Amino acid sequence: MPTLFEEVKIGNLELKNRVVMAPMGFAHTDPDGGYSERQIEYYVERARGGFGLIYPTATMVTTEFEPAPMPNVLENYSQATRLAILCEKVHHYGAKVCSQLSLGLGRVSFIDPYTAPKSASEVPSFFFPNLMCTPYTKEEIKFLVEKFGNAARLAKNAGVDAIEIHAYGGYLIDQFLTPLWNKRTDEYGGSLENRLRIVYELRDAVWNNCGKDFPLLIKLTPDHKIEGGRTLEEGIEMLKALDDAGFAAFHLDLGTYECWYNAVTTVYQEEGVQLYLAEAAKKAGIKTPLFVQGKLGDPVLAEKVVSTGLAELIGLGHPSLTDPHWPAKVQQGRFEDIVPCIGCNECIYTNLMNQRFACAVNPRMGMERDYNLSPANEKLSVLVVGAGPGGITAAITAAERGFEVELWEKSNRLGGTLVAAGVPKFKEAVAKYVEYLRTQLYKRNVKVRLNKTATTEEILKKNPDAVIIAGGAKPIIPQIPGREKMHVVEATQMLLQGDCPGEKIVVLGGGLVGCEAALHLENLGKKVTIVEKLDDILQTVKHATNNDQALRHLLSESNITIHTGALLSAIDTGKVTIEKDGQKTDLPCDTLIIAIGYHADKSLAQSLKGKIDKVFTIGDNLRPAKVIDAVHEGFHTARLLEELTT
């Protein structure tokens, strides 16, 4: 029976195990698109952590037609030399490197609203639908194929162990493969055989430059999950056509930009969301080994996929960001020490906002060399107030550095508002992260005091060298006429309780907390209505596009009624009154859930000012924040504690 941690041969590619760091964009390149030192150290850390195969980010083979390329480019010897350094360092740990080569983004490129992208056909640009793409000429296609072969040769000479064709997800090659975007009438359009022509030409270009025995994989999307896109049945026919085409493995993917949450999964999807692709492929008799991905961070699930023969390789994308040592910890049986991905996609959001590529729960991701922890110069006593993600991270980090740490939490539980956030069934990943934090806190022997309210007097009595305040924010509760006539509860408290009285529920506030609370209550069988004063829900939420798509998709499939541009003006027994466009409407209501935001409480920090040398406020205590803010601030406050001044 196959196992995760056994040597495996895929074509001529020999791997020490079946665990792969899946390809993901990492935009911190050198100015010419070559691999930077920061990128190299990022990949080396995953090799150090035990991954058998490492994928650097998708790499363009030319910038001739897309001046705003994917993160990396491979078209000259200087770029290849830096790739060689990456390969050498990764090989030191027994891992292999697969270079995923791409012809580009095509219709999903985002140069500007005025420059038409080039694609297989004259189809609308994704980001600017009024901008029609310019079709590639046959001469330009020939040029692209030649550049692909050249990049493959450079990659092989640099020491990569395999090449993968980037033919998935609605990117340029996939645009040639798909009738929705390929309207050509020449030999590259029409029949499946013609649409696959570019794949065969790219394969032959690799073989001509690297030899027919060099491992060549291809990443494909058997199911686009969009109207007019490839169906699973069509996808299986495509796999059958390529099954004897000489590929070492099929790397399977799901979705496209129109439903990005399927391709880059979120907290809202179930584990193993893409496995049905492999099941369909195996059932259809596909002989080529399969490489699967999509929320496979649970070691038990990953092992089951391999042991049952569903797939030969397991790809971990986001789990390799949250914990680069996932393979080593699994192999050692240390499941409780794995930092779980919470599906927030801050990694995507920070990239889209032109910020540092960052992970909410791993502050060192992408900064492996910069953010190492050093032992404390002197053993300061550190008091952390509040056991949310920021406070626990600060306590863990301070303890790891050798400080004497005590953590006070006013409630009887650890985790802060993340406990509430992890209550809905679709937020199980958050609950797992809370459990991880609790485990690590106790493993660090931090002195924890629950049901301990931090007052100025109590803190001064303890007299610590440093205080880190992470007590969270307070909910905003509006004064609505008639409030005493109905059961009114704040959303976080409702989630902590798990339910609320009555069957007809109105949620005031269509932000992230309000929408998730509404979905949770509907899952309990309630009839739920959301009332939002802005013109649309989720307008104040700063999160990744794919998370926004996924949450809106859940809401669209629910029976939740949503009133936008509406104000809740009055409460009465059994009903609330809303006003919209000058009209008043009564809504039946047994319980009103308040989810209109939070405000920071800085009073404790202000009361300690000048009385204790080092007092720092983080997370929601500073301003209403996200998990990434709290965790990173907790980590860096403890990491730099001696250097920081109040």
Task: Give the list of residues 6+ apart from residue 16 with CB closer than 8 angstroms, or none.
Answer: 7, 52, 94, 95
CA dist., res. 427 & res. 419, Å (int)? 10
| One-letter identity of residue 417 | T
* CA 584 and chain centroid, separation: 42
Structure tokens at 470: 């992470």
Q: Of 104, 126, 106, 130, which Cα lies nearest the Cα of 117?
A: 106
Dihedral pair phi/psi, residue 411, rounded to 5° = -95, -175
Q: Are the beta carbons of 277 and 292 closer than 8 angstroms?
A: yes
Number of C-beta neighbours around residue 438 at 10 A = 17
- Residue pair 252/277 in contact (Cβ under 8 Å)? The answer is yes
How far apart are the two ends of the chain, measured CA to CA in Å?
59
Cα–Cα distance measured from residue 598 to residue 137, given in angstroms and rounded to the nearest whole number: 56
- Residue 2 to residue 449: CA distance in whole angstroms: 46
| Coil vs helix vs strand at 332 | coil
**Choosing from 55, 136, 168, 171, which is the catalytic residue?**
171
Residues whose CB is less than 8 angstroms from the CB of residue 638 and which lie 6 or more positions away in sequence, other chains included: 382, 393, 394, 395, 397, 398, 401, 403, 468
The CA-atom distances, in angstroms, between 418 and each of 240, 425, 447, 473 are: 46, 14, 21, 13
211 in the Ramachandran plot: left (φ > 0), alpha (ψ -120 to 50) or beta? left
H or E segment and range at residue 481: none
Q: How far apart are CA 406 and CA 416, in angstroms?
A: 16
* Residues β-bridged to residue 132: 124
CB 533 within 8 Å of CB 565: yes
* Alpha-carbon distance values, 376 to 47, 441, 444, 557, 641 (Å): 28, 18, 15, 53, 9
Q: At what angle do helices 138-158 and 197-210 cross, to 10 degrees?
A: 40
Question: Rounded distance, CA 322 to CA 341, Å?
Answer: 6
Query: Is position 77 annotated as part of the catalytic site?
Result: no
Distance between CA 632 and CA 367 in Å, rounded? 12
The residues near 315 (Cβ < 8 Å, ≥ 6 apart) are: 20, 21, 22, 251, 291, 292, 293, 296
Residues 352, 357, 360, 364, Cα dihedral to 10°: -170
**Token pair of 155, please?**
């990659």
d(CA 548, CA 540): 12
Burial of 129 (0-12, 13-18, 19+ CB in 10 A): exposed
Cite the active site residues: 171
